[in-house]
Amino acid sequence: MFPTPKPELLLDYIYDLATDEGDLVLDFFMGSATSQAVALKKHRTFIGVEQMDYVDTCSIPRLKKVIEGEQGGISQAVKWNGGGSFVYCELAKYNQRYIDKAIAANTNVELIDLLEHVLNSSFISSKANPAEILGHSAEFKDLCIEDKRRLILELLDKNMLYVNLCDLDDEEYAISDADKAFTRSFYGLEGN
């Protein structure tokens, strides 16, 4: 999937220089999960962050293979036989759900309905005035599908793509009790 993945040997060297067994490795661009694979093999804990959809088809399957004992990369050098575990979590979507719907929309009707939902129930950019946009609804209807999609995407506040921790109990987001409990335990807020 990646034309030039990081070699495990390079990360092995970096981890030896900068970490000790049991240390936490943080990788904000998880990609093919090489950093996490090496962390497992070298007995480090890790947090991997990935925004792209290939996490389900590339990153997670790779980590499962490492846990099962795959013998690529540094496996033989570190006498890797498998083991370990990881927890996979996704952020609760807010404006991202509107982005997903706008991208998937194929008809004018879908985009016109979506614009109404966006203006009534999501966080829009501070640069936009919903009343002014509604006043030009006839002009919006005359736009081509791609321009409708582009306008909707521009309206959304990109700082509100996902639900913030402080908004966990807001009923508007409909976060389940189980997800709230897990989130609080992740952040060490069990009593709150």
Q: What is the pLDDT of residues 156-178, one digit of tens each?
A: 999 899 999 999 999 888 899 99
> How confident is the model over 112-126, as pLDDT tens digits?
999 988 988 778 888
Query: Is 75 contained in some domain?
Result: yes
pLDDT of residue 191: 65
- Owning domain of residue 118: 95-160
Q: Which of 71, 69, 125 is nearest to 95 (CA)?
A: 125
The strand pairing partners of 111, in sequence order, are none
pLDDT of residue 134: 73
Q: Between 160 and 192, name the one with better pLDDT.
A: 160
Cα–Cα distance, 153 to 180 (Å, whole number): 29
> How confident is the model over 22-50, as pLDDT tens digits?
999 999 999 999 999 999 999 999 999 99
Q: Note whether 6 and 86 are same-domain residues.
A: yes
Query: Is 116 contained in some domain?
Result: yes
CB of 45 within 8 A of CB of 25?
yes
Query: What is the overall mean pLDDT for the chain?
Result: 91
Q: Between 10 and 131, name the one with better pLDDT.
A: 10
Q: What is the mean pLDDT of residues 103-109?
A: 95
pLDDT of residue 192: 58
Q: Domain total for the chain?
A: 2
Of the candidates 71, 90, 109, which is a domain's last residue? Answer: 90
Q: Note whether 3 and 84 are same-domain residues.
A: yes
Model pTM score: 0.75
pLDDT of residue 52: 85
Question: Residue 191 contacts by C-beta under 8 Å, 6 or more apart in sequence?
Answer: none
Q: What is the mean pLDDT of residues 176-184?
A: 93
